[in-house]
């Protein structure tokens, strides 16, 4: 369940960014974290497509180690998505904690990217999840912020007892109204 919360919150942030932009579709923002790339044939946890330009962004979102197996699964799902081959310059943004980066990744000094790893022509850019979200929210205008916080509260309060228990849920909700 904890894996679902970061994916949903980041997904809601991406949805909010593209809310009033014509031709854009954000997919996966509120999917279950147990929906894997292999079982769903989807690209990334969250993706952005444009009606005329196709796939624009791919996000993998995790609070667990993003190891080589998951990297290989992501490349495989991209290969299935692009029938004629993965386009040159394909980037997957991995939103994670610094400790979730595989040892094989090269550390980066290009903020906000904290590490990079190339696999079969796909560049995986590892970005600190918390820093990414803070910057994204700071970039929103007031209407976007209101939308974002409302949607996050709805997500956290969904279900019989909400997605997280009692006092923890109240602390999250208070943090998003504040």
Mean per-residue pLDDT, 125-149: 95
In angstroms, the Cα distances linking 40 to 6, 18, 43 are 19, 23, 9
What are 43's two structure tokens?
């690209």
Q: By mean pLDDT, which of 40-49, 53-62, 142-151, 164-173 is the weakest?
A: 164-173
- DSSP state string for 83-126: TT-PPTT-EEEEEE-GGGS-TTSEE--STTEEEEEEETTEEEEE
Tokens 């970061």 found at: 6
For the chain, the domains span 4-172
What are 37's two structure tokens?
């790339």
pLDDT digits (tens, 9 = 90+) for 49-97: 999 999 999 999 999 999 999 999 999 999 999 988 898 999 999 999 9
pLDDT digits (tens, 9 = 90+) for 87-133: 899 999 999 999 999 999 999 887 788 999 999 999 999 999 999 99
pLDDT at 68: 94
């Amino acid at each position: 369940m904890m894996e679902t919360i970061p994916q949903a919150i980041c997904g809601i942030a991406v949805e909010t960014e593209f809310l009033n932009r014509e031709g854009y579709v954000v997919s996966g923002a509120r999917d279950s974290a147990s929906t894997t790339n292999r079982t769903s044939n989807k690209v990334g946890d969250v993706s952005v497509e444009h009606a005329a330009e196709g796939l624009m962004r791919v996000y993998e979102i995790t609070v667990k180690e993003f190891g080589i197996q998951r990297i290989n699964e992501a490349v495989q799902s991209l290969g299935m998505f692009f029938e004629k081959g993965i386009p040159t310059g394909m980037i997957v943004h991995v939103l994670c904690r610094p400790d979730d980066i595989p040892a094989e990744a090269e550390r980066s000094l290009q903020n906000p990217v904290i590490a990079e790893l190339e696999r079969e022509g796909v560049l995986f850019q590892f970005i600190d999840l918390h820093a990414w979200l803070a910057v994204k929210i700071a970039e929103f205008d007031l209407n976007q912020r209101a939308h974002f916080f409302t949607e996050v509260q709805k997500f956290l309060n969904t279900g019989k007892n909400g997605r997280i228990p009692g006092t923890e849920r109240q602390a999250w909700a208070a943090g998003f109204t504040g």
